[in-house]
Chains A and B, each alone.
Chain A
Amino acid sequence: MEFRPRDYITENESHALPRARADAHPLSSPLSHLTQVNDDVVGGNADFYDPLRGGIDNDAKSTPPEPVNLSETSGDQPIKEWTSFRRLLMQRFPVSKMVSLSSMPDVLMRSGKSHDKSATSMHLEELDDPKKFADEGVKVITWQEYVSRLHELKDEITRSWLADNRVTSLKLSIKVAKLMVDTSVSEFYPTLFVLVTDIMDMLGDLVWKRIKQKAEFTEDGALLCNLAENFEASDICADAKETCYNWFSKIGAVQDLLPRIYLELAILPCRRFLLDQPTDSLQRLVMMTRGLGDPVASAYCRLYMAHCAQKLPSHDIGYLVTCVNDLKVILTQTLATNERNLGNFQNNKKLQISLMEPTIEYIMKCIFIGLSQRRVNEVLPELGLMKNQQNFGTVSCVSLVLHHLLKELPIEVVSSNVVHILHLIEFNNDNSFHQHLNYRLLGFRLYEGKCPVDIVNAVLDKVMQVIATYKSLDEYLKVIDAYADLILQNHMDNHLDIILRGISERALNGGVTIDEMSSLQSLLVKFLSHFECLEDVFCLNHFPEILDILHGKSQDVVFLHILNMATSRSGRIRDPTRIQLLFEISRTLHDNMEFINAKNDDSQVTRSVSRFVYMVDYGAVMEHHLAFLVDCRASFGRFNELKETLVHSSNSLAIQSLQCAKKDLSFFKSCVTFSEVTIPSISGQRQFDLFLETAEVAFLGGLVSHVDGLIDSGIRCLHILDRVDGFRTSADIEGLVSSIRKLCGFLIMVPGNISLPVTYFPNNLFSLISSQSWFDPKMKTQIFSAIILLLTTLSQKTLPYHANKQMPGNDMLYYGDSSYKQELESLSKVVLENLLCAVQQEPSQAARGSMALEACNCIASSFMQSNELSSICHTLIGTAKSCLSVQDRCLQSTIRLINNQLPTLAGAVV
Chain B
Amino acid sequence: MSVHLKLSHPNRIYRPSELLKGTIIVETQSSISHYGIRITIKGSVNLQVRGGSAGVVESLYGVIKPIPIVKRTVEVKPSGKIGSGMTEVPFSLNIRQEENLEKFYETFHGADISIQYLATVDISRGYLHKSLSATTEFIIESDKGDLLQRPISPETVIFYITQDTQRHPLLPELKSGGFRVTGKICTQCSLSSPINGELTVEASAVPIQSIDIQLFRVESILLGEKIVSETSLIQTTQIADGNVCRNLTMPIYVILPRLLTCPTIFAGPFSIEFKVAIVISFQSELSKLHKKSDSRTPRLWLAMETLPLELVRTM
A290 contacts chain B at the CB level, 8 A cutoff: yes
Are A133 and B289 closer than 8 Å at their CB atoms?
Answer: yes
Could you list 24 A-B pairs, sorted by A, with CB under 8 Å? A130-B289, A130-B290, A133-B288, A133-B291, A134-B288, A134-B289, A136-B288, A242-B10, A246-B11, A252-B254, A252-B255, A255-B212, A255-B237, A255-B238, A257-B238, A290-B244, A292-B242, A293-B208, A293-B243, A294-B242, A297-B242, A326-B248, A330-B245, A333-B246
A291 contacts chain B at the CB level, 8 A cutoff: yes
B241 contacts chain A at the CB level, 8 A cutoff: yes
A630 contacts chain B at the CB level, 8 A cutoff: no
A492 to chain B, nearest CB (A): 45
Q: Which chain B residues (186-237) contact chain A, with CB distance < 8 Å?
A: 194, 198, 208, 211-212, 235-237
The residues of A that contact B243 with a CB separation of less than 8 Å are 293
* Residue from B237, B241, B255 in contact with A293 in the complex, judged by beta carbons closer than 8 Å: B241
B145 to chain A, nearest CB (A): 21
Are B251 and A329 closer than 8 Å at their CB atoms?
Answer: no
The residues of B that contact A532 with a CB separation of less than 8 Å are none
Chain B proximity mask over A236-280: 1 for CB below 8 Å, otherwise 0: 000100100010110011011110100000000000000000000
Are B236 and A255 closer than 8 Å at their CB atoms?
Answer: yes
With A130-B289, A255-B236 as contacts: A292 and B251 at CB distance below 8 Å: no
Are A256 and B291 closer than 8 Å at their CB atoms?
Answer: no
Which B residues lie at the A interface, using CB under 8 A?
10-11, 194, 198, 208, 211-212, 235-246, 248-251, 253-255, 257-258, 288-292
A534 contacts chain B at the CB level, 8 A cutoff: no
B127 to chain A, nearest CB (A): 38
Complex alpha-carbon distance, A634 and B75, angstroms? 120
The residues of B that contact A249 with a CB separation of less than 8 Å are 255, 257-258
Are A329 and B248 closer than 8 Å at their CB atoms?
Answer: yes
Are A248 and B241 closer than 8 Å at their CB atoms?
Answer: no
Question: On chain A, which size bracket covers the interface?
Answer: 20 to 34
Query: What secondary structure prevails in chain A residues at the interface with B?
Result: helix
The residues of A that contact B258 with a CB separation of less than 8 Å are 249
B256 to chain A, nearest CB (A): 9
B236 to chain A, nearest CB (A): 5
Are A333 and B254 closer than 8 Å at their CB atoms?
Answer: no
The residues of B that contact A290 with a CB separation of less than 8 Å are 244-245, 248-250
Complex alpha-carbon distance, A284 and B291, angstroms? 30
Are B10 and A287 closer than 8 Å at their CB atoms?
Answer: no
A441 to chain B, nearest CB (A): 28
Output the residue of A284, A287, A290, A329 with the most chain B CB within 10 A: A290
The residues of A that contact B236 with a CB separation of less than 8 Å are 255
The residues of A that contact B239 with a CB separation of less than 8 Å are 257, 288, 291
A248 to chain B, nearest CB (A): 7
A128 contacts chain B at the CB level, 8 A cutoff: no
Chain B proximity mask over A288-302: 1 for CB below 8 Å, otherwise 0: 101111100100000
Residue of B nearest to A219 (CB): B10
A353 to chain B, nearest CB (A): 15
Residue of B nearest to A281 (CB): B253
Are B250 and A287 closer than 8 Å at their CB atoms?
Answer: yes
Output the residue of A136, A253, A260 with the most chain B CB within 10 A: A253
* Residue from A181, A239, A284 in contact with B241 in the complex, judged by beta carbons closer than 8 Å: A181
Are B242 and A293 closer than 8 Å at their CB atoms?
Answer: yes
A129 contacts chain B at the CB level, 8 A cutoff: yes
B293 to chain A, nearest CB (A): 10
Are A288 and B242 closer than 8 Å at their CB atoms?
Answer: no
Complex alpha-carbon distance, A281 and B244, angstroms? 21
* Residue from A256, A258, A288, A293 in contact with B251 in the complex, judged by beta carbons closer than 8 Å: A288
The residues of B that contact A136 with a CB separation of less than 8 Å are 288
The residues of A that contact B288 with a CB separation of less than 8 Å are 133-134, 136
With A129-B292, A257-B238 as contacts: A291 and B250 at CB distance below 8 Å: yes
With A134-B289, A239-B10 as contacts: A284 and B251 at CB distance below 8 Å: yes
Are B246 and A129 closer than 8 Å at their CB atoms?
Answer: no
The residues of A that contact B290 with a CB separation of less than 8 Å are 130
The residues of A that contact B11 with a CB separation of less than 8 Å are 242, 246
Chain B proximity mask over A419-445: 1 for CB below 8 Å, otherwise 0: 000000000000000000000000000
Q: A133-B289, A255-B238, A287-B198 are in contact. List 11 more A-B contacts (CB 8 A).
A: A129-B291, A133-B291, A181-B241, A242-B10, A248-B255, A252-B237, A255-B235, A284-B251, A290-B245, A293-B242, A293-B243
Residue of A nearest to B287 (CB): A133
Complex alpha-carbon distance, A133 and B292, angstroms? 11
The residues of A that contact B289 with a CB separation of less than 8 Å are 130, 133-134
Are B245 and A329 closer than 8 Å at their CB atoms?
Answer: yes
* Residue from B194, B212, B235, B245 in contact with A333 in the complex, judged by beta carbons closer than 8 Å: B245
Q: Which chain A residues (837-852) contact chain B, with CB distance < 8 Å?
A: none
Q: Which chain A residues (102-158) contact chain B, with CB distance < 8 Å?
A: 129-130, 133-134, 136
Residue of A nearest to B288 (CB): A133
Complex alpha-carbon distance, A293 and B251, angstroms? 14
Residue of A nearest to B247 (CB): A329
Are B255 and A257 closer than 8 Å at their CB atoms?
Answer: no
The residues of B that contact A284 with a CB separation of less than 8 Å are 251, 253
Complex alpha-carbon distance, A129 and B288, angstroms? 10
Are A288 and B253 closer than 8 Å at their CB atoms?
Answer: yes
Q: Which chain A residues (321-364) contact chain B, with CB distance < 8 Å?
A: 326, 329-330, 333
Complex alpha-carbon distance, A689 and B51, angstroms? 114
A795 to chain B, nearest CB (A): 107
Residue of A nearest to B238 (CB): A257
Chain B proximity mask over A177-215: 1 for CB below 8 Å, otherwise 0: 000010000000000000000000000000000000000
Residue of A nearest to B10 (CB): A239
A831 to chain B, nearest CB (A): 99
Complex alpha-carbon distance, A485 and B239, angstroms? 52
Complex alpha-carbon distance, A585 and B250, angstroms? 67
B8 to chain A, nearest CB (A): 11
Complex alpha-carbon distance, A497 and B10, angstroms? 82
A722 to chain B, nearest CB (A): 82
B276 to chain A, nearest CB (A): 15
With A252-B194, A326-B248 as contacts: A257 and B240 at CB distance below 8 Å: yes
The residues of B that contact A293 with a CB separation of less than 8 Å are 208, 240-245
Are A288 and B250 closer than 8 Å at their CB atoms?
Answer: yes
The residues of A that contact B291 with a CB separation of less than 8 Å are 129-130, 133
Q: Which chain A residues (715-757) contact chain B, with CB distance < 8 Å?
A: none
Complex alpha-carbon distance, A736 and B264, angstroms? 107
B5 to chain A, nearest CB (A): 16
Residue of A nearest to B240 (CB): A291
Are B245 and A257 closer than 8 Å at their CB atoms?
Answer: no
Are B253 and A291 closer than 8 Å at their CB atoms?
Answer: no
The residues of B that contact A297 with a CB separation of less than 8 Å are 242
Are B238 and A256 closer than 8 Å at their CB atoms?
Answer: yes
The residues of B that contact A130 with a CB separation of less than 8 Å are 289-292
The residues of B that contact A291 with a CB separation of less than 8 Å are 211, 238-241, 244, 250
Output the residue of B236, B245, B257 with the most chain A CB within 10 A: B245
Residue of A nearest to B207 (CB): A293
Complex alpha-carbon distance, A253 and B257, angstroms? 7
Complex alpha-carbon distance, A136 and B10, angstroms? 48
Are A257 and B241 closer than 8 Å at their CB atoms?
Answer: yes
Ranked 10 nearest A-B pairs via Cβ:
A293-B242, A252-B255, A291-B240, A257-B238, A293-B243, A287-B251, A290-B248, A293-B244, A257-B241, A291-B250
Complex alpha-carbon distance, A242 and B139, angstroms? 14
The residues of B that contact A248 with a CB separation of less than 8 Å are 255
Complex alpha-carbon distance, A291 and B248, angstroms? 9
Residue of A nearest to B246 (CB): A333
Complex alpha-carbon distance, A526 and B212, angstroms? 60
Residue of B nearest to A253 (CB): B257
The residues of A that contact B255 with a CB separation of less than 8 Å are 248-249, 252-253
Residue of B nearest to A130 (CB): B289
B244 to chain A, nearest CB (A): 5
A39 to chain B, nearest CB (A): 59
Residue of B nearest to A326 (CB): B248
Complex alpha-carbon distance, A206 and B292, angstroms? 35
Are B241 and A258 closer than 8 Å at their CB atoms?
Answer: yes
Complex alpha-carbon distance, A897 and B255, angstroms? 107
